């Protein structure tokens, strides 16, 4: 990627983050007096105090191994959602906790725009499409709403890079790309939201499997080098996150949330977010919802899927994954969620509506590619207008009643039509052409 494209993506990310600062933040925390509590999920009761205590321990030069403030005390480093080993979270050691969360949210919105823009370029999208797709993803309701669950926001910011890294390695495996995949996997594991990583990894496995199959059919052999590079990248990323996840797995095995212990009733105990009719009503009323970033993005994604162009097969694969994620997010109305629950790890997550963040990402990336078709249509319109102007000028240039042959963009725009005109006039015009 050129420096101009990188600066453009950063500028778009800054624009999305500044809009969030301007319109979605407030000078103080919401009013939490009794019966007047503002909605913020688990932010004020869980993430804020945990981040504050972890920052205090880090500022004192200690790892936050134990938290004496919850219940009768308990492990803190092993609690994945604290994200004590996620490097950006160390900012809590230098800034007040609420300000650190604002800075971290700002930076991850910029990262979300840049990573989604990179994914658009992998599909052959133009520079303008990368800017558009990055802005749509970073400013989408799904991403903005996750700010009150900081680990989910951080994972959503890294998620497009996981798909991008898999795409680039399958295209051409290099040591630099393997290192990039390892860093992305490690960061996504360290943010502290295993749900988002598992869903993105599952999507990347489907997407990468399709690319490997297509390349194998095209080359008539299995691309072993790409497969080995993917395995090495994922293994290295897991090793980066091992200091966090080894104690976490030990604590998880002793907890009430041990793997295999969550039944479907515990996973889907809130029905409203899993109602497809409600999602449809929200889309019609506001023009967006937590799975669709907007009608314009939806229309552009349809253009990218239906019209021929570079990266169409990749877009079709990603949109198919996004469609499956959308169906899975309605566990009371479709059987796909029940089938996924039979797979390891995926059956232990609550709130299946979270799968819609994959739908949101797929539509934003496809919309960026759809911008290419809009730009191509505009250029064709300008070419047709130029052809019409040239033909009109040729018709009336000499005022003798003959129409000259004019070639515009390789096509003859007009021919001599008047039989009363001498033949040598027509042949002269043709010779001059």
Per-residue pLDDT of 361-377, as tens digits, reads: 999 999 999 988 888 76
pLDDT > 70: percent of the chain: 80
* Residue 195 and residue 324 share a domain: yes
* Residue 409 and residue 308 share a domain: no
Per-residue pLDDT of 408-418, as tens digits, reads: 434 433 333 34
Identify any residues that bridge with 74 across adjacent strands, giving them in sequence order: 67
Cα(394)–Cα(414) distance, rounded to whole angstroms?
Answer: 9
Spatial CB neighbours of 426, under 8 Å, sequence gap ≥ 6:
402, 416
* Residue 167 and residue 267 share a domain: yes
* Residue 213 and residue 161 share a domain: yes
Model-level pTM?
0.83
Which range of residues forms the domain containing residue 288? Answer: 3-377
Inter-residue contact 65 to 75 (CB < 8 Å): yes
Q: For the chain, how many structural domains are there in total?
A: 2
Q: Does 223 have pLDDT greater than 80? A: yes
Say if 129 falls within a structural domain: yes
Cα(367)–Cα(301) distance, rounded to whole angstroms?
Answer: 4
Q: Does 428 have pLDDT greater than 90? A: no
| Range 270-294 average pLDDT | 88
Apex CA 312: angle with CA 309 and CA 316, to 5°? 155
| DSSP at 294 | -
Say if 384 falls within a structural domain: no
CA neighbor of 134 nearest in space, from 164, 162, 110: 110
* Residue 120 and residue 223 share a domain: yes
Cα(225)–Cα(204) distance, rounded to whole angstroms?
Answer: 18
* Residue 102 and residue 198 share a domain: yes
Q: How confident is the model at residue 402 (pLDDT cuts 50, 70, 90)?
A: very low
pLDDT > 90: percent of the chain: 41
* Residue 423 and residue 291 share a domain: no
Residue 395 pLDDT = 53
Residue 12 pLDDT = 84
| Range 41-54 average pLDDT | 86
* Residue 311 and residue 408 share a domain: no
Say if 216 falls within a structural domain: yes
Say if 367 falls within a structural domain: yes
Residue 420 pLDDT = 43
Say if 391 falls within a structural domain: no
* Residue 179 and residue 278 share a domain: yes
Helices (H), 191-294: 194-219, 224-240, 242-253, 264-267, 276-286
| Range 312-337 average pLDDT | 91
């Amino acid at each position: 990627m050129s420096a101009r494209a990188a600066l453009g993506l950063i500028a778009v990310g800054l624009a999305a983050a500044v809009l969030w600062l301007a319109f979605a933040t407030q000078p103080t925390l919401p009013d939490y007096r009794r019966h007047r509590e503002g909605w913020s999920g688990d932010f004020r009761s869980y993430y804020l105090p945990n981040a504050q205590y972890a920052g205090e321990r880090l500022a004192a030069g200690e790892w936050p191994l134990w938290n004496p403030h919850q219940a009768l005390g308990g492990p803190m480093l092993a609690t994945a959602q604290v994200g004590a080993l996620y490097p950006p979270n160390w900012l809590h050691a230098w800034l007040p906790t609420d300000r650190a969360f604002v800075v971290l949210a700002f930076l991850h919105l910029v990262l979300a725009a840049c990573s989604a823009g990179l994914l658009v370029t992998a599909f052959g999208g133009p520079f303008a499409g990368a800017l558009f797709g990055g802005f749509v993803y970073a400013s989408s309701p799904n991403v903005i709403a996750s700010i009150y669950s900081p680990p989910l926001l951080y994972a959503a910011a890294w998620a497009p890079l996981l798909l991008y890294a898999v795409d680039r390695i399958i295209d051409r495996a290099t040591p630099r790309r393997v290192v990039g995949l390892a860093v992305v996997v490690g960061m996504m594991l360290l943010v502290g939201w295993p749900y988002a990583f598992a869903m993105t990894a599952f999507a990347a496995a489907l997407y990468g499997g399709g690319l490997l199959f297509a390349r194998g059919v095209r080359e008539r052999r299995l691309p072993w080098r790409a497969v080995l590079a993917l395995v090495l990248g994922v293994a290295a990323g897991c090793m980066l996150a091992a200091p966090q996840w080894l104690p976490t797995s030990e604590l998880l095995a002793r907890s009430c949330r041990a793997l295999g212990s969550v039944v479907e009733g515990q996973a889907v105990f809130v029905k409203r977010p899993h109602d497809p009719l409600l999602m449809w009503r929200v889309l019609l009323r506001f023009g967006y919802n937590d799975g669709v970033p907007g009608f314009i993005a939806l229309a552009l994604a349809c253009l990218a899927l239906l019209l021929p162009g570079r990266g169409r097969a990749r877009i079709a694969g990603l949109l198919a994954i996004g469609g499956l994620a959308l169906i899975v997010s309605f566990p009371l109305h479709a059987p796909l969620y029940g089938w996924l629950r039979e797979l390891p790890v995926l059956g232990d997550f609550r709130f299946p509506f979270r799968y819609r963040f994959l739908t949101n990402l797929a539509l934003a990336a496809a919309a960026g590619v759809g911008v290419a078709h809009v730009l191509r249509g505009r250029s064709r319109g300008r070419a047709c207008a130029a052809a019409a102007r040239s033909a009109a000028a040729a018709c009336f240039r000499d005022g003798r009643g003959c129409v000259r042959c004019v070639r515009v963009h390789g096509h003859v725009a007009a021919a001599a039509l008047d039989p009363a005109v001498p033949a040598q006039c027509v042949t002269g015009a043709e010779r001059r052409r």
